[in-house]
Structure 1
């Protein structure tokens, strides 16, 4: 058994009983009560289209980016270490039943819906090398923090787990968006439930027939059948209403609150967008979306929503898999920021001419193989061996 540090032995958290449970034990049962009386769990919240799509959008966006291992030099430049074993775990197979895509996506979903965050266990061989990454189901792994330092302590089914064997993606404030903004999500759930009831058994009739005289049940049934036969058929439009015994028809109208029901539901989409940091247009709330601001909001999603999560993932994987050396794990963002071919070609040409990149680096961005001599940083539009004047019988562009 490895010797524990004096700090860990002095400040080891005590085991708690059912009478004094862990704070995240309540989440194990999915009970997060709101003022609306609705208990919000990850499953219930994900059934709200705006919430489910926001979670799916962020988790899928993080999972589709390739993971690479880079070596950081003293001057801060980074060089990719192609073929590193960590790339195989994170991009291909994390374990025998989970792909790298599924691992990142599910870890992100946990961080967005669970206060514990995303927890991944790194299974190491006898030599200390990580051989597989496993994301256990909710509740199997737990985390608690030291009251003063915030040092995390991990457990798997009550057994302590070394922090070096855990990839931990922590949500901001120690609370997931599902918990932080549970009231807004609860209102969205209530609005959906109200809509379902309104258009099913709770739907309002178009109007009522009132009779000044008292009527027996037989008379009521005959009047109802006569009205339905005349005005509730396949095509009731244009038919003449005939009322008996002084009967009056009173149409029912929605109240002002009911008339704003759609407006209320649209506002809750905006609230969900704020909760997860996703632009409303990406949740298909297109009231104020235009061709110009939609592209800008897409960039804001990358910078202000996705980028903090990516950097947190990079730090968590680097700490667990690579330690404190000069190797780091990066998410390749090129696929998310890739423009159309004409724009990319213009940018690569400009960067090459300015000697910021060499031709082979530009070809690498396009997924093309390098060529001999392409490592030279030179402006292809300038030939230093010439005096600038075209040769005899030579056109200005260098062709004969």
Structure 2
């Protein structure tokens, strides 16, 4: 339903809306977030980022007057972000879901539920295919949400929606990486379908049956049907064909090896990893991996891949879930220490250097290792400092 004063509303070339419709490609196959995930590398890249983001603790901190920062576990938002954002999901499930939405659709949405005092009580995820982002003549943003069962629309204002987005051209909606790379992904889907059909035909390539005898249309059709029933499909692989009446079989198509089909499939792994900026070693492409560069790739993943998505969550939550006054004292931040800890030898050297230099206490090192506190363990260090 559109009211008279809303005639000038515009979607502003909303890429999230465009992502709803599978886009045709020169490879002949449409590409959408749904069928793109049938490509194992796309699914693995999305999972590598989404499940890592979802598994990291997202904490609310309070800045004290003396400059110290402490966990604000008594803040109402702490429970929503760290423990349970709604009645049906854990924090991991919710943040994994919204991160995957942004990676595939360019945008992730959640409805903000608040109490009478304005405190956020829950976050309800909304699938991007049910959301249309509209810019009102006043410049304000409105989110039209369709009920997937009834089709009824309801409107949410900007302060009622947590909106996370990928890179944007208009500052309103994010661009879907699937749609941006649809031509390349269409080629991958076509290659995948080619391989599937090769197996469906018994992993044999096409050819022709030749004869010097004259055949009627009826006999040609009967021969084709009989041939396909006996020799087509992986269940008929290996059967021996018996040719009668002077029939000869001649292969027409070149083999998969000649077409370098396997090589193109392997190259598509690297292409898709470039879209999501995920090191190939993290999606089980171990051709160029060894122990040394695998450890370094994990650090690269945190620094260059996850940083963008971590910052998106932190700044998005602060903007949408904390008021202007609250933002002066409270802030949201992930704890990524676990991802950067390295092996036990490296951590031991790190702690030893910190304790020796005086900027790290033994008790703090035990806390970082999730070990129980030991009474008096810091007494000697504090005495030396005195």
TM-score, length of structure 2 as denominator length: 0.77
Q: Is the 8 A contact 2:278 2:301 kept in 1?
A: yes
Paired residues in the alignment total 355
What's the counterpart of residue 352 of structure 1?
355
Gaps of 5+ in 2: 146-152, 169-173, 231-235
CA contact (8 A) 1:119 1:135 kept: yes
| Structure 1 residue 360 displacement after superposition | 1.8
Match of 2:46 in 1: 55
Q: CA deviation at 1:205?
A: 5.1
Structure with higher Rg: it is 1
Q: Which of the residues 156, 159, 165 maps onto 1:161?
A: 156
> What is the distance in 2 between the residues matched to 1:153 and 1:277?
31
- Equivalent residue of 2:28, what SS? coil
Higher mean C-alpha deviation, range 208-217 or range 186-195: 208-217
Q: Tell which has more relative contact order, 1 or 2 (C-alpha 8 A, sep 6+).
A: 2
Correspondence for 2:120: 130
Equivalent-residue separation in structure 2 for 1:33 and 1:146 (angstroms): 31
1:88 corresponds to 2:79 = yes
Q: Distance in 1 between matches of 2:124 and 2:180?
A: 27
What is the Cα deviation at residue 162 of structure 1? Answer: 3.9
In structure 2, do the counterparts of structure 1 residues 42 and 335 end up closer, same or farther at CA, with 3 Å as the change threshold? same
Q: 1:378 to 1:34 in 2, by over 3 A?
A: farther
Please report the RMSD computed on the Cα atoms of aligned residues, expressed in angstroms. 4.0
Change (3 A) 1:251 1:43: closer
Deviations 1:213-248 (CA, angstroms, capped at 9, x unpaired): 779979x98xx99xx9xxxx99999xxx99999987
Question: Aligned pair 1:44/2:32, yes or no?
Answer: no
What is the CA distance between 1:89 and its match in structure 2? 1.1
Cα shift at 1:199: 1.9
Partner-residue secondary structure (3-state), 2:301: helix
Give the C-alpha shift of residue 207 in structure 1: 7.5
Assess, with a 3 A threshold, how the Cα gap between structure 1 residues 79 and 105 changes in structure 2: closer, same or farther: same
**Is the partner of 2:6 in helix, strand or coil?**
coil
Q: Greater share of helix residues, 1 or 2? A: 2
Q: Which runs of 5+ in 1 are unaligned?
A: 1-12, 386-400
* Residue aligning to 1:341: 344
- Rate the CA distance shift 1:78–1:124 in 2: closer, same or farther, 3 A: same
Counterpart position of 2:171: none
| TM-score between the two structures when normalised by the length of structure 1 | 0.74
Residue 338 to residue 16, structure 1, CA distance change in 2 (3 Å):
farther
